[in-house]
Structures are given as structure tokens and as C-alpha cells.
Structure 1
């Protein structure tokens, strides 16, 4: 049983390009492999691309999102922000947008935002961006106050998110480190019919998950996607095994410093393969936080912090853990240096 657990962990890490000496060569290659990178925290998303690539620069990430428009940030699986290939954004939005619009309706009502105000807000957001170009959340909030929307609280955020889920706007280029919103049709013009719709889109999502997450089952897919259980199980059953990559010849441990909220830590319903049960609270302390982790061959052995704006990386091993071997210590040093290079 232990051998199977180790094998499954190594296969998962390799599928996610965070183990088995696998590293991709570009933002496009990373996203093609894993489909989506968690992006509720944008600097963490950039580090999520770095950890899966070889020699990737922050400029290359910004170029992909802000200039080439080959990667786009939006609310997709589970209704959380993800960075996905631009080529997949529209069919993913068609699949998840209606689901999360329906789920958000109750919250909008709780905030006192009726259908009439929502419709007027959507028109205002579209008109403002159309006239002025990319606008930040704060700028859109300021425009929405002209309709009586409270400038504080969550009302403006939910109205902007509603317009994005409806396919009217999407995240655009950063401006002085702050995200902006643009018109979807301007930023990512439609090039023809969607490649996948309905059940075909659900099956494609299941196929991509199988390839990106290694050994897993239908319930893992349901957990990751946020689809209804019956829908997810049906799509899973319709997609055959993708076939996993062969395990590498055992060698030096593969050490990676995963950012906060990384895919690997949220992509399965169970955490037992990735984080020892005794240390789960170190990674998931509560309040929705998921800490950055030190990974060795797919297994978390500690957490880390720092690495932004020139701050050094600080590693905190799990209590009671054996001291790092020289090979693991060398791997941590290499990853720390690479984070400094990436963030400089």
C-alpha cells in the first residue's frame, strides 16, 4: 500500500510538472499541460507558473497576459479565479458562467442588488470600459456609485464579477500592479464557434483533468471542477484513461517551492498524498488560507514565506521532521535563488 501511495504521489507531481524533473519551457506550455493555475492571488499565480517552468521570467508572464493575450484570468472552476489559456477561456466561460451566475443570484439579493440595478450596472460597466479603456476595480466602483451602489463593501465587486461571468468583461493588463478589466470581445475576439459546448465541454474538462492531475477518480474531478456530482461523474465515465507518463529513474530528490493556493493542494478531494495528516493545519491554518509549501517528490515537508519585493525566502520545516538531507537543502537553495531571480 505504501509503495502504491508513493507511486501515485510521484505520478501526480509529474503530471503537474512539479516533480519527476519535469519543467515546461513557457507560460503557454505550462497552461497547456495543467489547463489552469489558481489566480485569486496574482503574484502567487505567477509563482505557480515559475515552479512548473525552466528559467521563466516575470516579464514573460506579463507579456503572455498583458501583450500576447495568450493567457487570461477569470472565474472558472469552482467559481474561483484561475489563469487559463486564452484559447480555452470562452468554452470554459460558457460551461461555468451560467452555473456561477445562478449561484451568485442569492448573494446579489442579500446585498440589495435587484435585477434592474444589475442590468443597469452591467450596461454602465460596458459603456465605461468601451469609452475609457481598461479600468481597475476601484475605477469601476467609482462609476457604479452613480447608480447608488455603495462604494464600500462587496456590492461593486459582485456586480463586476457578474458582468465577467456573463461574458461581457474579463481581466486585462495590469496597471501599476493592479488588475484591470476590459471588454471580452475586444480583448479576446471570437474566432468562430466554440470548440466544445454542453456535454462535450464537460467531457473535455474531464479529459484535461485526467491528464493534468495524474491518478485520481470521479470524486476528485467533481471536487476540482465544482460541477454537480451527477454531471461530473457522467463526464468522467465517458472519458477513458489518458495513460500516465513513466516514472523517472530514481535520482536526486526533486524539490519545489509551491506558492500559496497552488493547484496541487486544491486539485483533489483528499490531502493525504500531498501533506502528512499531522501537519495539515500548517498548510491550511483556516480562514481560507493555503500556505506556500516546500515539496519534495510531491510530498510537503514544510512551509515557506517571503520571496516578494526582494525579501529572502524563509523555510519552516514541519515540527518533528528529520533534518533536511544535503540534497534537499541544496534543492531548497536552488528554488529560493530562482524565486529571487524571477521576482527581481
Structure 2
């Protein structure tokens, strides 16, 4: 008999498993929190720090930075690299065997014109050149340009890629693939310049095992979900994701449920959901994993939230206010010295209790950022993050 799951119960379980219902216990490693999220989007590092901090009551941005660059010389438990959708993420170092096998197996979309695009053979050659150049080295992007061209050929350096009113070398179209495959991660900044290095050596999982594990973990964190939801999270073809789900269903690794009248899937046997409704106020930063991965988006961003808190249907461009598990506003923080002003724009009236709880959440954001936070309830005038 197919289980029936409501949006309210699904939201309650997702928030629990994201440490957004009850923060992680004191002393929980930062990497464990990031693992539960399936990676923390880190194009803006401060946003990733807040994503972790709102899920772990005793953690601040200093803990995230220490996990990336331990002061005592011990191995880093987190890496900053290219993760889902090819975007910059924090990922647990111990999970590189999974991510480096699963992400490169996602079919490409071929978004570059034929005269710009690398062939499969050239792409492989470039990734190998990047790995070789970064072995025991830390290089800026300009230095990496020279090393890649020297190891491949002039074709890799042809400036044919339009980017930020400039033209980039051809090889950079697979920079994200190098990160996803474990050939590259971010090193410590050299002044204001970003650097890259090679992660610790590891052995990737077999591809089939890695993809099966990734489907299972996604459904554990964000299920019930459909192949389309999984594909959107990874920026992958829906047909590819559908085939993965069909195989996993045939292997009895996942099972179908009724999710508010829609066919969806959970990990096999993982059909227990809380009966209590989601309650409370939460603040999620730019590109928070929950706001991006939890589907269907129309229910997470109901009514006017769909227009105000999304950018053309894309989640993550605005930090969001959650009320009782759904988006009900946006917010923005502006730091000046050791103080930060957090402006919250609710899309409806807040109760006295909600305002009081919002003040506590704002205070927590300040703690994470090691600043004294002030709450202002009013219009957020900053635009969507590019």
C-alpha cells in the first residue's frame, strides 16, 4: 500500500534532518552539519557560514574557517570546491570519493557553441593538466592559465569564452568539472586573489554506487521528491534522473509514495514522518541548501513569496524568512565594523511572539558573523544577488 505524505509532514521531517528544527548538539563537527545539507553553497562564503551557524547553536564563522584551514596543521575537514550545479560549495573532505564519482557522471548540457566547446577528449586532457599543475602547488587563475596551456596546447588558451565583459581562455569551461572530479579545490587567498590547489588524494567510488548513494541521500534529506526535483537540484537532464530513479526502484532501493496527490519517492523503508506541524521563525541566507533543494517550490514559496523571494523562479537569490516552514519574507544584512543591521521584510503581519522569536534569530545571525546584530523590520531595498 502506497504511503500518503502531506506537505506539512514532509516539511517537518526536512527541517529536522537539516538541523533547522533543533540545532545540532554542542560540539557537532562542522563537516557533519554540511553533510546533512548535502553541501553548503559558498559562492559567498559568509552565506555558507550563516547556513552552518543557524543549524549549530555553538558554531560561528570562525569554526567554518578553521574546518577549511586548521590552525594546528591537521587535515581540513571541509573543502571549498565545485559541487552540485557546478557552483562553489563547501563539502566534507571525507565525502570526496562520493561527489567526485557522482557529479562528473551527470550528462552535460552543451551550453557552449560548437566553435567554443571542448571535445570530450580535450576536456579530459584539460582536467588531467589541472590536476598535474596543482599537485603540491597553489596557483592563481592566471598562473593556472599558463600551466594548462603549457601541458595541453595553444587551443586551450584561445580567448573565446564570453565572461563578465571579457573573454576567457577556452579551457576554463571545464574549471567546474575539475573541481567536481577532485582535481581542484580552492586554496587560501593570496591577498585579494583566489588560488587553487589539489585536494588530498583519494579513490573515487564506483560510479554506479556513487549515483545510487546520492539518490538515497537526497531523498533522505529532501524527500519525498521526484526525478524532476532531483534533476533541478543537480542541473541535470530530467530523462537521466528518471532513469536513475527507475533503476533504484527496480533494485528496491527507493519506494513510491503519494505526496499530496503526486507520485514521489523516498528511500526504501524511510516512510516515518512527524505528525506535528512545523512552527517557528527561521532565517536562511543566500543560496541556502534548504531553500534550493526542497520541492515543490510553489509550496515552499506560496503566494506573493513566489514573486518577492525568487528571481525568475530561481531560489537562493534572496535570503528568506521562514514562518512555520514556508517562505514569508526576505531579509538583508549590512555590516559596519563590529555591528550588523539585519533588515527583515515580512510579507504579512507578524504576531508579537513571531517578532520576539525573530529577534532571537537575528541575534544568532550576529553571533555567527561575530558581530552585534540589530533588527529592523521594513522594506529590503537591495536587489537579487547576481
| TM superposition score normalised by structure 1 | 0.80
Q: In structure 2, what is the Cα distance between the partners aligned to 1:126 and 1:218?
A: 33
* The one of 172, 186, 196 aligned to 1:171: 186
Residue among 168, 185, 189 paired with 2:201: 189
Tell me, yes or no, if the aligned pair for 1:172 and 1:182 is still in contact at 8 Å.
yes
Q: Distance in 2 between matches of 1:306 and 1:285?
A: 19
Is 1:290 the counterpart of 2:317? The answer is yes
Deviations 1:43-90 (A, max 9, x none): 222221112111211111011122342122333333333322211122
Q: Could you tell me how far 1:29 is from its partner in structure 2?
A: 2.2
CA distance in 2, matches of 1:297, 1:159: 41
The SS at the match of 2:318 is coil
- 2:373 alignment counterpart: none
Question: 93, 96, 113: which is aligned to 2:100?
Answer: 93
Match of 1:32 among 24, 35, 40: 35
2:376 — aligned with what?
none
Match of 2:8 among 6, 9, 14: 6
Alignment match of 2:269 (pick from 228, 241, 248): 241
**Aligned residues: CA RMSD:** 3.3
- Relative to structure 2, which stretch is displaced further, 32-41 or 274-283? 32-41
Structure 1 stretch 110-119 or stretch 151-160: which is displaced more? Answer: 110-119
In 2 relative to 1, CA 138–256 (structure 1 residues): closer, same or farther, beyond 3 Å?
A: farther
Which whole-Å deviations, capped at 9, do the CAs of 1:221-271 have from their partners, x for residues lacking one?
343243532123433552303244645698xx4322101111122214421
Of residues 215, 227, 250 in structure 2, which corresponds to 1:206? 215
The residue number in structure 2 matching 1:64 is: 67
Task: Determine the structure 2 residue equivalent to 1:224.
Answer: 233
> Cα distance, 1:331 vs. partner?
1.9
SS in 1 for 2:341: coil
Contact 1:125–1:140 (CA under 8 A) maintained in structure 2: yes
Q: Does 1:316 align with 2:316?
A: no
Instruction: Name whichever of 72-81 and 82-91 sits farther off.
Output: 72-81
Deviation at 1:174, TM superposition (A): 4.3
Paired position in structure 1 for 2:175: 160
* Cα shift readout 1:181-228 (whole Å, capped 9, x = no counterpart): 112xxx3222xx54x423322221122112212443444334324353
1:50 counterpart residue number = 53
Q: 1:38 to 1:326 in 2, by over 3 A?
A: same
Query: Which of the residues 292, 305, 319 maps onto 1:266?
Result: 292
Distance 1:167 1:5 in 2: 37
Length-normalised TM-score, structure 2: 0.72
CA apart distance, 1:139:
4.4
Query: Structure 1: where are the runs of 5+ without partners?
Result: none
Query: Aligned-pair distance for 1:138?
Result: 4.8
Q: How many residue pairs are counted as aligned between the two chains?
A: 327
Q: Distance in 2 between matches of 1:175 and 1:233?
A: 47
Q: What is the CA-CA distance between 1:316 and the residue it aligns to?
A: 0.9
**Kept after mapping to 2: 8 A contact 1:16/1:34:** yes
Q: Which structure features the higher share of helix residues?
A: 1
| Greater strand content | 2
1:302 corresponds to 2:309: no
Instruction: Flag structure 2 segments of 5+ consecutive residues without an equivalent.
Output: 255-267, 371-386
Alignment check: 8 A CA contact 1:108 1:158 kept: no
Displacement after TM superposition at 1:13 (Å): 1.9
Contact conserved, 2:38 with 2:289, CA < 8 A, in 1?
no
Output the CA distance in 2 between the equivalents of 1:199 and 1:124.
26
What SS does structure 1 have at the residue aligned with 2:229? helix
